[in-house]
Structure 1
Amino acid sequence: MSDANNPEIGNRLRVGQIETNYHDRGQGCPVLMIHGSGPGVTAWANWRLNIGPLSQRARVIAPDMVGFGYTEAPPSTSYDLDTWVDHLVGFIDALSLPKVDLIGNSFGGGVSLAMAARYPDRVRRLVLMGSVGTSFPLTPGLDAVWGYEPSLQSMKGLLDVFAHDRNLVSDELAELRYRASIRPGVQERFGRMFSPGPRQRYIDALATPEEQLRSLPHEALIIHGREDRVIPLQNSINLALILQRAQLHVFPHCGHWTQIEWTETFNRLVGDFLAEA
């Protein structure tokens, strides 16, 4: 597929030394959607079913975070929470946005929580979906995601882990995600983020101290799939108890892909939450 026909490629914006790929649709209050950390992930792959509907109610901006997708990463880049938060803040500054809503999926939830803790005045509301951000025991599912070695069979296995409903996981989708994971430089960057093991340390490195989370003033909507095999439901329950203005919504018969497995309900729930006065 040529770049001109590739829906994963959107706008380009230079953030420091980082040429950032992002999607920007709609008008109104800016909502940033931060993707997860699966191999071959892009903002478009993560949020393709949500950007359009949510952009009818707000300005929706979905960047490829540094090290992922079609955002360029200088060879010297260190992949850690400081780097990702700095990239996110620089991106918001480059768009001249004083305050944003954040929707964070999994890894993106951890980045969103860290952003809110470090720059509370730059965030209005938080949506956390199957989020990291506190420490929890490494699951076999997350270990498989971060330990991915490129092959079509491995990708098929991972998609089974992500989705509770096997009907959502087609061979075509597995092929697309596998091809994305073997683009030049992608696996090398991915390996630097979450290898070598033991991978518990990468969960801990994405966590924000609990005392900082307890002091967050933001309203938060926490969303989780009951059958999530990647991030345990208990982590979102814990977040709902820690964050002082949080509400929790649990989807039944749902894995780690809430935004795909319950698309219409997810879009309505998130849209209504962000639209509240």
Structure 2
Amino acid sequence: MSPADLSAVAAPRTVTVDGSPVHVMEHGTGPAVLMLHGSGPGTTGSGAWTTTAQALGASWRFVAPDQAGFGLTPIPAGSAGRLRMWTEQAAGLMDALGHEHYAVVGHSMGGAVALALAAERPEQVTHVVAVATMGAPGAPLSPDLDAIWAAPAGPAGARDMISRLVLDPALVTESAVAARAEAMRAGEAAFASLFPPPRARWAEDLTLSARTLAGIRAPVLLVHGAQDRVTPLSTSALPLLDHLADVRLHVLGRCGHVPALEHPHDFRRLLSCFLGRNRDH
């Protein structure tokens, strides 16, 4: 990054949303883009999106929160349901930050939240990028997602989880395993309450109805790995093509569940091109 880019970096901070703290990383300058991470234990907003935000921060203002139950963001008291909780918190965060119009990028669980937010806030959400997304009506809980939600904290659980997330075993490095194991241990208590067995109910909670999806006005880009075992292409992205009014799908070959990590240059080009369409806000 250039010195000008560095000046746009804001230190992570805590924003109060409906009386509850939300830990958020902000980076870059330009139109706002809300970045929503996935549901694996140890996942955080900064861990999922810092590399992408740093690469594209000269053009957009990226907002990457730890969603409730992840990282440094606690689960708000009295929350009911998972999708509703994360959707309301995301909307409240962008309101608190003063962003009247914004794009939303979501990975896996975050993709379902992004789609739900677009349906809930049609006047605010300008674009949706749903990556390896959940949310399709009737999508079942895959064995790999079930195993990820059940992964024990520590190196063995971290190694198994990363192995399920990516296609190329070369990406399962010792440093990646150590970092994820540490993050899993730090968030173990909060995560334990999010997806207790039987876990199929939580996958069902993260699906959207055909009516909700049909009401989304914003253009949607689906980005999916052809070899994704966690949210398989056939049950996750393809069914959404029948329900979204303005949608396009880009499938990356030789790619598992994390396109931003497995094909970072292709992913950033797709993101930049799509977010640059009709930049009226």
TM-score in same-fold range (> 0.5): yes
The farther-off stretch of 71-80 and 234-243 is 71-80
Q: Deviations over 1:70-123 (max 9, x none)?
A: 223456544512111111111011001112100000000111111111221121
Query: Is 1:176 aligned to 2:179, yes or no?
Result: yes
Q: What SS class does the counterpart of residue 182 from structure 1 fall into? A: helix
In structure 1, what residue type is equivalent to 2:151?
A: Y
CA contact (8 A) 2:28 2:53 kept: no
Q: What SS class does the counterpart of residue 121 from structure 1 fall into? A: coil
Question: What is the aligned partner in structure 1 of residue 144 from structure 2?
Answer: 141
The farther-off stretch of 58-67 and 11-20 is 11-20
Distance 1:107 1:82 in 2: 12
CA contact (8 A) 1:104 1:111 kept: yes
Q: What SS class does the counterpart of residue 231 from structure 1 fall into? A: coil
Question: What is the aligned partner in structure 2 of residue 124 from structure 1?
Answer: 126
Q: RMSD of aligned C-alpha atoms? A: 1.6
Unpaired runs of 5+ in structure 1?
Answer: 1-6
Q: Deviations over 1:148-180 (max 9, x none)?
A: 222311210110000101111111111111111
Matches within 5 A, 1:145-224: 145-183=148-186, 186-197=187-198, 199-224=199-224
The farther-off stretch of 249-258 and 79-88 is 79-88
CA contact (8 A) 2:140 2:204 kept: no
Question: What is the aligned partner in structure 2 of residue 251 from structure 1?
Answer: 252
Question: What is the aligned partner in structure 2 of residue 265 from structure 1?
Answer: 266
Distance 1:118 1:51 in 2: 25
Distance 2:221 2:56 in 1: 15
Distance 2:194 2:20 in 1: 17
How big is the shift at 1:222? 0.3
How big is the shift at 1:143? 0.5
User: Structure 1 stretches (4+) deviating beyond 2 angstroms?
Assistant: 72-79
Question: What is the aligned partner in structure 1 of residue 228 from structure 2?
Answer: 228
Question: What is the aligned partner in structure 2 of residue 48 from structure 1?
Answer: 50
Distance 1:226 1:47 in 2: 21
Matches within 5 A, 1:16-95: 16-74=18-76, 76-78=78-80, 80-95=82-97
CA contact (8 A) 2:81 2:205 kept: no
Distance 1:217 1:179 in 2: 40
Unpaired runs of 5+ in structure 2?
Answer: 1-8
Q: What SS class does the counterpart of residue 48 from structure 1 fall into? A: helix
Residue of structure 2 aligned with 1:13, choices 5, 12, 15:
15
Distance 2:55 2:15 in 1: 24
Distance 1:169 1:57 in 2: 31
CA contact (8 A) 1:222 1:240 kept: no
Distance 1:215 1:89 in 2: 17
Q: Deviations over 1:217-276 (max 9, x none)?
A: 111110000010100101101112321110000000000010010101101110111011
In structure 2, what residue type is equivalent to 1:162?
A: L
Q: What SS class does the counterpart of residue 135 from structure 2 fall into? A: coil
Query: Is 1:106 aligned to 2:108, yes or no?
Result: yes
**Percent of residue pairs bearing the same amino acid type:** 31
How big is the shift at 1:187? 1.8
